[in-house]
């Protein structure tokens, strides 16, 4: 017998949303202040050693976060079209198309395209995904006289690292050779930043930066664990802002403030056993980059379907250890797409058990192929080992035109009907 989910009163955490807006403003303010002081502008990628931007006080721009921002405000289509007109393929990385499009069609780019801050240098990273390297090369060509530092990390196999906790990115082990391989590059990068900024490394300042980062990162991990509570305390429409903190600005004072306050609010909700809706009917796991432009999560949460476990959001969190700053930076490369799929799936199974989910919704990101590779394998394991059914929905993260919403809702509705 088919049941229908009734629309309930939806309870997002407006205070957290307000705090995030303030955090974002603080970040923009910092960038403009640094620029005014004549500090260099650096473009950084997810999974790269972003703490160093704070150690050397450079204005840190994050093209991926910017493009997610554009997509969430439904301003990405013209940027994507500009890149396609420039002969980038329709199915290349959404972040690449939006980033390049924001340079090619800066008039259509919100916030003047990356806050109007052209890069003085690009931190070209192969610590997470090869696409970052390709994009760095493109930026360096589009903006002439841009310096580029290339940093690499191994692709982490299970033999190398054993079990990995993909929330903290703590591996079971790591060899001296691999540590040395990355740490030597980190020292070179710091010398490069000394050259760019004209300032010597201040070890005391570095220590303070990593202390902030550690506190922020621990707060994020605690929030991720609180999300597993019953009922799910926070909406994904609030939680989707957290990757911007975890990936890029954990070392900022304003990020620490945001996570401290958010943690307090969420703890209070958990204590009162208050959820994002009054009656939680189903708990689902979510995987894949969020289709930023869509309100799918809200649509389902309003109907009592909550998402205590979002693997994509968790992939952006790390445990940073102030006592081991360089090792912590190395671990920024331990993202699911830079590790053996088996190691990732093991970790997901552990989290899915803790979250006690009824099913999983996986977004197959047409605009990010690497993140979509493991979905079918994960679907199979969740079913075989835990009896958790899954649905895979095509969803480019930045281009709503390639994702007819009705079609996605149809698939997801059918899936949810089968769970009731």
Q: What is the gyration radius of the CA atoms in the chain, in angstroms?
A: 21
The minimum distance between CB 373 and another protein, in angstroms, equals: 16
CB closer to another protein, 185 vs 390: 390
The minimum distance between CB 4 and another protein, in angstroms, equals: 6
User: Which of 110, 389, 400, 405 lies at the binding interface for another protein (CB under 8 A)?
Assistant: 389
CB closer to another protein, 1 vs 159: 1
Helices 203-226 and 253-272: crossing angle in degrees, nearest 10, is 20
Q: List strands edge to edge, sheet with 41-43.
A: 59-61, 41-43, 121-126, 147-152
Locus of tokens 């930026």: 139
CB closer to another protein, 126 vs 379: 379
The minimum distance between CB 403 and another protein, in angstroms, equals: 9
Task: Report how far apart the first and last C-alpha atoms of the chain are (Å, whole number).
Answer: 9
CB closer to another protein, 140 vs 296: 296
417 token code pair:
């009907």
358 near another protein, judged by CB under 8 A: no
Q: Which residues pair with 121 in a beta bridge?
A: 42, 147
User: Which of 1, 36, 141, 200 lies at the binding interface for another protein (CB under 8 A)?
Assistant: 1
Residues contacting another protein: total by CB under 8 A: 16
DSSP state letters, 177-217: HHHHHHHHHHHHHHHHHHHHHT----HHHHHHHHHHHHHHH
Candidates 226, 243, 236; CA nearest to 276 is 236
Q: How far is 246 from 350, CA to CA, in rounded Å?
A: 21
User: Which of 158, 349, 394, 405 lies at the binding interface for another protein (CB under 8 A)?
Assistant: 394
Identify whether the C-beta of residue 348 lies closer than 8 Å to the C-beta of residue 311. yes
4 near another protein, judged by CB under 8 A: yes
Question: β-strand 121-126 against 41-43: which pairing, if any?
Answer: parallel
89 near another protein, judged by CB under 8 A: no
CB closer to another protein, 273 vs 401: 401
Q: Interacting stretch for another protein, rule CB under 8 A, among 1-9, 160-168, 289-297, 338-346?
A: 1-9
Q: How far is 215 from 328, CA to CA, in rounded Å?
A: 13
- By CB under 8 A, what part of segment 401-420 binds another protein? 402, 404, 406-407, 410-411, 413-415, 417-418
Residues that bind another protein (CB under 8 A): 1-2, 4, 389, 394, 402, 404, 406-407, 410-411, 413-415, 417-418
């Amino acid at each position: 017998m088919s049941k229908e989910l009734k629309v309930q009163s939806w309870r997002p955490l407006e205070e957290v949303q307000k705090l995030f807006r303030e955090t974002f403003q603080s970040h923009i303010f910092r960038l403009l202040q640094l620029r005014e002081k004549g500090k260099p502008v650096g473009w950084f990628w997810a999974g790269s050693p972003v703490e160093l931007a704070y150690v050397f006080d450079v204005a840190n721009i994050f093209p991926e976060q910017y493009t997610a921002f554009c997509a969430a405000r439904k301003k990405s289509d013209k940027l994507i079209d500009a890149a396609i007109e420039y002969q980038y393929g329709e199915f290349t990385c959404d972040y690449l198309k939006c980033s390049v499009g924001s340079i090619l069609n800066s008039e259509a780019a919100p916030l003047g395209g990356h806050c109007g801050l052209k890069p003085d240098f690009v931190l070209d990273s192969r610590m997470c995904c090869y696409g970052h390297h390709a994009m760095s090369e493109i930026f360096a060509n589009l903006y002439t006289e841009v310096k580029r530092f290339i940093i690499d990390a191994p692709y982490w196999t299970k033999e190398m690292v054993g079990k990995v906790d993909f929330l903290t990115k703590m591996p079971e082990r790591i060899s001296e050779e691999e540590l040395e391989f990355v740490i030597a590059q980190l020292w070179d990068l710091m010398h490069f930043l000394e050259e760019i900024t004209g300032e010597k490394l201040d070890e005391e300042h570095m220590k303070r930066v990593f202390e902030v980062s550690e506190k922020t990162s621990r707060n994020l991990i605690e929030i991720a664990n609180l999300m597993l509570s019953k009922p799910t305390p926070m909406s994904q429409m609030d939680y989707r802002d957290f990757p911007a903190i975890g990936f890029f600005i954990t070392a900022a004072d304003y990020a620490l403030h945001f996570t401290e306050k958010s943690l307090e609010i969420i703890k209070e909700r958990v204590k009162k056993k208050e959820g994002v809706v009054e009656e939680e009917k189903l708990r689902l796991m979510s995987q894949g980059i969020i289709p930023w432009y869509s309100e799918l999560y809200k649509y389902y949460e309003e109907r009592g379907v909550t998402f205590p476990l979002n693997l994509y959001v968790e992939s952006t969190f790390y445990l940073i250890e102030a006592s081991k700053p360089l090792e912590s930076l190395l671990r920024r490369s331990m993202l699911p797409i830079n590790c053996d799929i088996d190691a990732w799936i093991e970790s997901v199974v552990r989290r899915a058990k803790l979250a006690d989910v009824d099913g999983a919704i996986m977004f197959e990101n047409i605009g990010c192929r690497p993140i979509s590779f493991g979905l079918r394998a994960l679907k199979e394991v969740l079913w075989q080992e835990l009896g958790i059914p899954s649905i895979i929905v095509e969803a480019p993260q930045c281009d709503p035109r390639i994702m007819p919403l009705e079609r996605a809702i149809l698939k997801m509705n059918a899936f949810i009907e089968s769970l009731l």
